[in-house]
Structure formats: structure tokens, C-alpha cells
């Protein structure tokens, strides 16, 4: 379905980004991977994805907190792979603390990586998409883009912000063959959430398994995690012709979190 298309997925060395990148490669898209991690492990991942799916896979270690590096990431994809047709703004970090004790530098980093990076990448990718009259921008927001939780001030602010950016991008591209949507996952058991599970287990003396269930039970009626593969399938749908008129949406996949 995506043969001849090029996808840039930020933060795709792990978790949800990797799940989405894998699904897009399976549909034939060439990939620009991005994210941090062990260089040898990333190179192994790059080669495996390319061999398994018969697509070109490149990698950039651009730091999504740095606008100049974000522009370089988009330029590198255009130079090495020919274009940027699909942009998945996924890289993200978390920090949990009450506002009075929330470190200023964590606020700045979360706003930069979880929100501003999507603006800079979208700004850099749009001219090429408009020229080719086809584009799919998928912003990975969160249920926290639509409702709040205590002790996540920066994350909730950034995720609400990215849903606003999604709507503006949709309006500005409505007649250019481009769609822009946000995906709002509930709990997904990635390293980002594993840290929260471990912190909870430590604070309460629970086992890791008990802490997982307690974490789910607090917010999510369905006591199971959404997976990166589930989210990859939703991203694939958003890249399909069936979703050609779907734009400006914030789409939850959240085990009933937002139904309450």
C-alpha cells in the first residue's frame, strides 16, 4: 500500500514509534528511523527492518529538542530517500512531579520534545508534501491530550498543545492532499511506562505485576495494555485511501479511559 512512499518516524528506536515504523515498512514505505540508544543495536534494527520488509531504511540520531537538528532530519530523509510523505511525530519523554517541585529543565525538555519538535518537523516537511500534493502527518498525543492527571503538568500541557497543532495543520492543508491527525493512546507498556510501573512498585511495596494492574485500574476500565502493534495498525489506516478525508481528529485507543 505504501510502496514508493517515505516515512519519517521520530523516536522510532523503541516502543510505539518502533511499532508504527515496522507497520509502515511492512506496507512498503522507505523509512527514516530516529531516536536514541546503543549504536550497534540501532544498526542491527535498521538492517533487520530493511531485510525483513525489502525497503530502504536510514537512521538519524537527531535530537528532537534541537530545532536545527530536526530540520536536518527532514533534509536528510529528503536527500537520502527522495521525499518525506509520511511524518510521524512520536518522540516523547515523561516526568512525574507536583507543580511546586517540577524541575524547570524537565518542563522545558518535555515541551521541546513532546510539542515543539512536532511544529519544527511539520514546518520542514510541509513544502515537499504540498508540492507532491500528498502527505500524512500523524502526531502521537495521548489520552493526556484530552484529559489531565495530577503530577504530569508538562506532559499534559504538551499533549493538549499537540492536539491544537494537529487541528491547525489540518486546516492549513485541507485542500493539499494532506491529512493531519493525532493518535491518543491510553496505557502502552513501553520503557516510558515501565519506569512509572517500577516507581509505583517501589513506592507501594507491590510486585511489578501488581503495580501494573494498579496503574491500569486507576484510569483504564480495560485492564490490558494497548500495544505498539495496535497503534501501528491505526497509523497504517490513517495512511490509507480510506482515511483520505479524515483530518484534524484526535483518535483515542485507550481501553475505555475516556469513556468515563
State the nearest-atom distance from the C-beta of 176 to ligand NAD, in Å. 25
Query: Exposure of 215 by Cβ count < 10 A (0-12 exposed, 13-18 middle, 19+ buried)?
Result: buried
**Which strand ranges, in their side-by-side order, compose the sheet holding 178-185?**
57-60, 30-34, 6-9, 86-89, 135-140, 178-185, 250-253
| Catalytic residue check, 155 | yes
Q: Which is nearer to ligand NAD, 130 or 230 (CB)?
A: 230
Please report, as ranges, the residues that interact with ligand NAD according to CB under 6 A.
Answer: 11-17, 34-37, 63-65, 90-93, 113-114, 140, 142, 185, 187-188, 190-193
Closer residue to ligand NAD (CB): 178 or 197: 197
Q: Are 128 and 134 in contact (CB under 8 A)?
A: no
Shortest reach from residue 62's CB to ligand NAD, in Å: 6
Contact 42, 33 (CB under 8 A): yes
Q: Distance between CA atoms of 77 and 207, rounded to whole angstroms?
A: 44
Q: Are 226 and 185 in contact (CB under 8 A)?
A: yes
In this structure, how many other beta carbons lie within 10 angstroms of the beta carbon of residue 100? Answer: 5
Task: At 139, give phi and psi (nearest 5°).
Answer: -100, 125
CB of 27 to ligand NAD, least distance (A): 20
Taking the complex as a whole, the smallest distance from the CB of residue 104 to ligand NAD amounts, in Å, to: 17
What three-state secondary structure class fits 192?
helix
Nearest approach in angstroms of CB 36 to ligand NAD is 4
Q: What is the DSSP letter of 259?
A: G
Q: Could you say which of 59, 155, 187, 225 is catalytic? A: 155
Output 96 or 174, the one with its CB closest to ligand NAD: 96
- Catalytic residue positions? 155
Amino acid at each position: 500500500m505504501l510502496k514508493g512512499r517515505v516515512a519519517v518516524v521520530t523516536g522510532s528506536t523503541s516502543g510505539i514509534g518502533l511499532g508504527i515504523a515496522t507497520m509502515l515498512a511492512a506496507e512498503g514505505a522507505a523509512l527514516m528511523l530516529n531516536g536514541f540508544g546503543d549504536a550497534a543495536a540501532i544498526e542491527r534494527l535498521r538492517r533487520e527492518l530493511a531485510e525483513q520488509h525489502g525497503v530502504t531504511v536510514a537512521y538519524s540520531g537527531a535530537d528532537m529538542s534541537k530545532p536545527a537538528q530536526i530540520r536536518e532530519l527532514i533534509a536528510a530523509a529528503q536527500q537520502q530517500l527522495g521525499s518525506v510523505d509520511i511524518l510521524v511525530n512520536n518522540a516523547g519523554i515523561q516526568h512525574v512531579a507536583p507543580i511546586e517541585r517540577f524541575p524547570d529543565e524537565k518542563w522545558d525538555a518535555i515541551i521541546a520534545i513532546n510539542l515543539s519538535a512536532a511544529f519544527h518537523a511539520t514546518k520542514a516537511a510541509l513544502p515537499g508534501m504540498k508540492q507532491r500534493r500528498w502527505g500524512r502527518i500523524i502526531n502521537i498525543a495521548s489520552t493526556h491530550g484530552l484529559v489531565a492527571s495530577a503530577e504530569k503538568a508538562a506532559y499534559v500541557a504538551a499533549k493538549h498543545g499537540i492536539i491544537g497543532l494537529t487541528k491547525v495543520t489540518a486546516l492549513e492543508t485541507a485542500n493539499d492532499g494532506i491529512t493531519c491527525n493525532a493518535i491518543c493512546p491510553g496505557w502502552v507498556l513501553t520503557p516510558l511506562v515501565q519506569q512509572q510501573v517500577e516507581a509505583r512498585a517501589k513506592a507501594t511495596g507491590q510486585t511489578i505485576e501488581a503495580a501494573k494492574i494498579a496503574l491500569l485500574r486507576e484510569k483504564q476500565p480495560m485492564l490490558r495494555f494497548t500495544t505498539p502493534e495496535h497503534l501501528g495498525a491505526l497509523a497504517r489506516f490513517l495512511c490509507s485511501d480510506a482515511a483520505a478525508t479524515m483530518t484534524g481528529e484526535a483518535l483515542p485507543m485507550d481501553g475505555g479511559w475516556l469513556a468515563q
